[in-house]
């Protein structure tokens, strides 16, 4: 691979921050501060906001500066010369307005076209991250909450991977626990020949689960056997291990159907994987004096919480929290992850708060005023609601069958596509395969985008009509916008692969400049989305980009104009950036629609 030039590496903000840092060191060598560079909405392209904060640090210490404005002036003057900056000005209490050089912006876009969008990857402060997402429970239903976790987690993983972080995509499936005694005994009872049957025989695991639960609740003799069953399973008895494995396999193949539809890759390391590590981890916490006896259980008391974190139940069994502590230990020490991210509904926030606190008390994670990494984050999300404003369910069953949901998204998008193509008389231009692939990309993309575009903490209402609409902020609208750009380029009959090597971009028209500046913000948008774990930031950017492109295209003639080459390259750059956004969101872009 080509070496990255230092002028390209990192986002524009990161590059400007580098220049500002040099200036700050020259301006006020006696204080150490972080550069504060932001996009500026009004007076310039970017601005540096360090002056006021610096003023409050140096005033009264015999400094020669008279006021924050004077500091701002000095920061502007001390900026090392660079071809990034066209001009600067200082406003009010020392804001340094920075105008970027058109030539530099144009060159940066062209470099991206030549060397690929990877050169616009932001630089993140970690090398390896664990993202724990999806994580359904064996034999229980994989509900819309798990769908949200799958979609959000996959997007975060894609954004980190794009930013050159080594991501361990972990499916922390609930494959261990007391319910297995019940399930296994029920399997033995219902299917005496269970060893011969294929996974299809049990058929619907959710129904199987319910039936066994019913039996468990109503027959004390069965209940006792089930409780014994857990002990035998955990004791490693062969027949029980095998039955456990069979049940997990059936669930797994159901989960895999959803992952395949969504094109999501996950590596399963379920709760059972960490079970052997629990005793030694609890031992360590115990030796640090963190574990106390309370009402027969072993617990960790955590400041600010009413109830303690139970790590060994009163019956001696381990639980969700003990497993999570062992998993965290493993991720920190064996996998050497610097950032460990958990994607679940907000309802689990307390669990994560408590066990993160326990890890801090154990000294596994740095305290509030120490270094930033390793670090843990809980990525919480809200509920999916139905049109009745209640928790989302489908008509037929109480829970939504995820595979059916995705099938419906696809078939709806297909019939809309067919209808439109028929009306336009364009149906003849499409092969069956193209129709299939496009309706899949559009349908699944719509489901993902509808989920991702909101701030993840808010609840959102699931509506096929809304998400499949071609108007407003929807994936369908964005797919059209992207396909339109591709068609502009196709119709020009020019080879952009050739143009990008021979032609040049210029940004003389105001709408060209606005579009160009927005394009080069891509890296900092991804950086922000990663830093704050907010995929909606990328959605917002993608939507705004398509709006800015429309404005540019309305006001700037492309094909047949004297600026044709430059403008075609801007079209191409927009299409490339849009595709990369789709990619990060796990949506397959379509080139023709
Ligand atoms: N299986 C859990 C559930 O369905 C989610 C697990 C999340 N990951 C974790 N390490 N606790 O709610």
**Any idea what the CATH number is for the domain that residue 83 is in?**
3.30.1360.70
Highest mean pLDDT among 2-16, 160-174, 248-262: 160-174
| Domain edge (last residue) among 231, 265, 299 | 265
pLDDT of 199 reads 65
Separation between Cα atoms, residue 215 and residue 218, nearest integer Å: 5
The boundaries of the domain holding residue 43 are: 12-100
Separation between Cα atoms, residue 232 and residue 230, nearest integer Å: 5
- Is residue 41 one of the residues assigned to a domain? yes
Where residue 396 falls among pLDDT bands split at 50, 70, 90?
Answer: very low
What's the rounded mean pLDDT across residues 366-381? 92
Q: Cβ neighbours of residue 493 under 8 Å, at least 6 residues apart?
A: none
56 and 164 together in one domain: no
**Which atom of ligand 1 is closest in space to residue 352's alpha carbon?**
11
- Is residue 223 one of the residues assigned to a domain? yes
> What letter does residue 166 receive in the DSSP assignment?
E
Cα of 136 from ligand 1 centre, angstroms: 7
| Domain edge (last residue) among 228, 243, 265 | 265
Separation between Cα atoms, residue 394 and residue 168, nearest integer Å: 33
pLDDT of 390 reads 87
Cα of 148 from ligand 1 centre, angstroms: 13
Q: Count up the domains in the chain and report the number.
A: 4
pLDDT of 7 reads 47
* Confidence check: pLDDT of 395 > 70: no
Cα 521 off chain centre by: 19
* Confidence check: pLDDT of 496 > 70: yes
Q: Cβ neighbours of residue 10 under 8 Å, at least 6 residues apart?
A: 18, 122, 123, 523
Cα of 280 from ligand 1 centre, angstroms: 22
Separation between Cα atoms, residue 18 and residue 22, nearest integer Å: 7
356 and 414 together in one domain: no
Q: What is the pLDDT of the chain when averaged over all its residues? A: 93
Chain segment 218-245, per-residue pLDDT in tens: 999 999 999 999 989 988 999 999 999 9
Q: Between these two residues, 352 and 402, which has the higher pLDDT value?
A: 352
Separation between Cα atoms, residue 474 and residue 44, nearest integer Å: 31
Q: Cβ neighbours of residue 408 under 8 Å, at least 6 residues apart?
A: 464
SS (H, E, C) 510-552: HHHHHHHHHHCCHHHHHHHHHHCCCCHHHHHHHHHHHHHHHHH
Q: Specify the CATH number for the domain of residue 427.
A: 1.10.730.10
Chain segment 149-200, per-residue pLDDT in tens: 999 999 999 999 999 999 999 999 999 988 899 999 999 999 888 888 766 6
Locate all alpha helices (DSSP H) within 263-319, ordered by sequence.
Answer: 271-274, 278-287
Residue owning the nearest CA to atom 3 of ligand 1: 136
Closest by CA position to 519, among listed 7, 44, 108, 16: 108
38 and 62 together in one domain: yes
275 and 260 together in one domain: no
Cα of 170 from ligand 1 centre, angstroms: 11
Pocket lined around ligand 1, Cβ cut-off 6 Å: 132, 135-137, 172, 174, 324, 327, 342, 344
- Is residue 4 one of the residues assigned to a domain? no
191 and 296 together in one domain: no
Q: Are 413 and 446 in contact (CB under 8 A)?
A: yes
Separation between Cα atoms, residue 51 and residue 66, nearest integer Å: 12
pLDDT of 398 reads 46
What's the rounded mean pLDDT across residues 113-122? 96
Q: Are 86 and 513 in contact (CB under 8 A)?
A: no
Q: Cβ neighbours of residue 440 under 8 Å, at least 6 residues apart?
A: 410, 413, 588
485, 567, 577 from 550: Cα distances, Å = 10, 13, 15
Q: Cβ neighbours of residue 19 under 8 Å, at least 6 residues apart?
A: 79, 80, 82, 84, 85
Paired residues of 100 in beta bridges: 85
CA angle at 364 for the pair 134 and 325, rounded to the nearest 5°: 40
DSSP 331-394: HHHTS--SEEEEEEEGGGHHHHHHHHHHHHHTTSS--TTS-S-SEEEEEEE--EE-TTSSB---
449 and 483 together in one domain: yes
Q: Cβ neighbours of residue 425 under 8 Å, at least 6 residues apart?
A: none
What's the rounded mean pLDDT across residues 309-337? 96
Separation between Cα atoms, residue 215 and residue 276, nearest integer Å: 31
373 and 255 together in one domain: no
Cα of 437 from ligand 1 centre, angstroms: 33
Separation between Cα atoms, residue 35 and residue 561, nearest integer Å: 42
159 and 282 together in one domain: yes
- Is residue 230 one of the residues assigned to a domain? yes
- Is residue 165 one of the residues assigned to a domain? yes
Separation between Cα atoms, residue 268 and residue 171, nearest integer Å: 4
What's the rounded mean pLDDT across residues 419-428? 95
* Confidence check: pLDDT of 41 > 90: no
- Is residue 546 one of the residues assigned to a domain? yes
189 and 231 together in one domain: yes
**Which atom of ligand 1 is closest in space to residue 342's alpha carbon?**
8
- Is residue 68 one of the residues assigned to a domain? yes
Three-state secondary structure call for residue 400:
coil
Residue owning the nearest CA to atom 11 of ligand 1: 324
Tokens 């991804």: give the residue. 526
pLDDT of 450 reads 96
pLDDT of 466 reads 94
Chain segment 461-488, per-residue pLDDT in tens: 999 999 999 999 999 999 999 999 999 9
pLDDT of 400 reads 54
463 and 534 together in one domain: yes
Q: For ligand 1, pick from 137, 328, 348 the residue to mutate: most ligand atoms within 8 Å of CB.
A: 348
pLDDT of 172 reads 98
Share of residues in the chain with pLDDT > 90 (%) = 86
256 and 166 together in one domain: no
Cα of 234 from ligand 1 centre, angstroms: 20
Separation between Cα atoms, residue 417 and residue 432, nearest integer Å: 12
Q: Specify the CATH number for the domain of residue 331.
A: 3.40.50.620
300, 308, 333, 362 from 367: Cα distances, Å = 18, 20, 18, 10
Sheet holding 46-48, edge to edge: 37-39, 46-48, 95-100, 85-91
Chain segment 79-106, per-residue pLDDT in tens: 999 999 999 999 999 999 999 999 999 9
Separation between Cα atoms, residue 490 and residue 517, nearest integer Å: 25
Cα of 132 from ligand 1 centre, angstroms: 8
> What letter does residue 457 receive in the DSSP assignment?
T
288 φ/ψ angles, rounded to the nearest 5 degrees = -85, 5
Share of residues in the chain with pLDDT > 70 (%) = 96
> What letter does residue 287 receive in the DSSP assignment?
H
* Confidence check: pLDDT of 250 > 60: yes
Residue owning the nearest CA to atom 5 of ligand 1: 135
* Confidence check: pLDDT of 394 > 60: no
Closest by CA position to 351, among listed 401, 322, 384, 309: 309
Q: How many CB atoms lie within 10 A of CB 373?
A: 14
pLDDT of 501 reads 96
- Is residue 592 one of the residues assigned to a domain? no
pLDDT of 162 reads 98
Lowest mean pLDDT among 117-126, 197-206, 405-414: 197-206
Residue owning the nearest CA to atom 6 of ligand 1: 135
Q: For ligand 1, pick from 140, 344, 346, 359 the residue to mutate: most ligand atoms within 8 Å of CB.
A: 344
User: In 18-92, which ranges are E strands?
Assistant: 37-39, 46-48, 85-91
Cα of 349 from ligand 1 centre, angstroms: 11
Q: Between these two residues, 303 and 394, which has the higher pLDDT value?
A: 303
* Confidence check: pLDDT of 397 > 60: no
| Domain edge (last residue) among 384, 412, 446 | 384
422 and 540 together in one domain: yes
Cα of 137 from ligand 1 centre, angstroms: 8
What's the rounded mean pLDDT across residues 279-296? 97
Pairing of strands 460-461, 384-385: parallel
Closest by CA position to 546, among listed 456, 442, 472, 487: 472
């Amino acid at each position: 691979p080509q070496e990255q030039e230092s002028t390209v590496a990192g986002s524009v903000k990161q590059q400007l921050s580098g220049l500002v840092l040099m200036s700050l060191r020259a301006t006020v060598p006696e204080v150490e501060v972080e550069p504060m560079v932001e996009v500026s909405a009004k007076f310039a392209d970017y601005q540096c906001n360090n002056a006021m904060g610096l003023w409050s640090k140096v005033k009264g210490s015999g400094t020669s500066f008279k006021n924050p404005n004077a500091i701002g002036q000095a920061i502007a003057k001390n900026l090392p010369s660079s071809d990034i900056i066209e001009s600067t000005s200082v406003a009010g209490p020392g804001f340094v307005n920075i105008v970027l050089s058109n030539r530099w912006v144009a060159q940066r876009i062209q470099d991206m076209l030549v060397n690929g969008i990877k050169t616009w990857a932001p630089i993140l402060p970690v090398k390896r991250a664990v993202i724990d997402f999806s994580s359904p429970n064996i034999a229980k239903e994989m509900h819309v909450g798990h769908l949200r976790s799958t979609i959000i987690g996959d997007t975060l993983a894609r954004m980190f991977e794009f930013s050159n972080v080594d991501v361990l995509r972990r499916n922390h499936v609930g494959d261990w626990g007391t319910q297995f005694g019940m399930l296994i005994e029920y399997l033995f009872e219902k299917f005496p020949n269970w060893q011969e049957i294929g996974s299809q025989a049990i058929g619907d695991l959710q129904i199987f689960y319910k039936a066994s639960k019913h039996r468990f609740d109503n027959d004390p003799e069965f209940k006792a056997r089930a409780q014994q069953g857990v002990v035998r399973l955990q004791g490693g008895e062969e027949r029980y291990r095998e039955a456990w494995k069979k049940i997990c396999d059936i669930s797994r193949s159901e989960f895999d159907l959803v992952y395949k539809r969504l094109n999501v890759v996950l590596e399963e390391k379920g709760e059972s994987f960490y079970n052997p590590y629990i005793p030694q981890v609890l031992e360590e916490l115990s030796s640090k004096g963190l574990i106390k006896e309370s009402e027969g259980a072993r617990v960790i008391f955590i400041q600010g919480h009413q109830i303690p974190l139970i790590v060994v139940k009163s019956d001696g069994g381990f639980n969700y929290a003990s497993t999570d502590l062992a998993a965290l230990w493993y991720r920190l020490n064996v996998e050497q992850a610097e950032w460990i991210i958990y994607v679940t509904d907000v309802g689990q926030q307390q669990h994560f708060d408590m066990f993160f606190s326990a890890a801090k008390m154990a000294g596994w994670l740095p305290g509030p005023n120490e270094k930033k990494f390793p670090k843990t984050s809980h990525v919480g999300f809200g509920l999916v609601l139905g049109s009745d404003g209640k928790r989302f369910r489908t008509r037929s069953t109480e829970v939504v069958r995820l595979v059916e949901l995705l099938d419906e998204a696809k078939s709806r998008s297909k019939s809309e596509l067919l209808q439109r193509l028929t009306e336009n008389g364009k149906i003849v231009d499409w092969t069956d395969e193209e129709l299939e692939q496009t309706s899949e990309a559009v349908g699944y993309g719509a489901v993902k985008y509808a989920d991702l575009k909101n701030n993840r903490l808010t609840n959102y209402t699931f509506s096929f009509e809304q998400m499949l609409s071609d108007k407003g902020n929807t994936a369908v609208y964005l797919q059209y916008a992207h396909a339109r750009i591709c068609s502009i380029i196709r119709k020009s009959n020019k080879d952009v692969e050739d143009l990008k090597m021979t032609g040049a971009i210029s940004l003389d028209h105001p709408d060209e400049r606005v579009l160009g500046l927005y394009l080069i913000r891509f890296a900092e948008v991804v950086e922000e989305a990663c830093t704050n774990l907010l995929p909606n930031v990328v959605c917002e950017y993608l939507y705004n980009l398509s709006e800015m492109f429309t404005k540019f295209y309305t006001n700037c003639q492309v094909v047949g104009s004297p600026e044709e080459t430059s403008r075609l390259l801007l079209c191409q750059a927009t299409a490339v950036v849009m595709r990369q956004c789709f990619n990060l969101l796990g949506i397959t872009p379509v080139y023709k629609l």
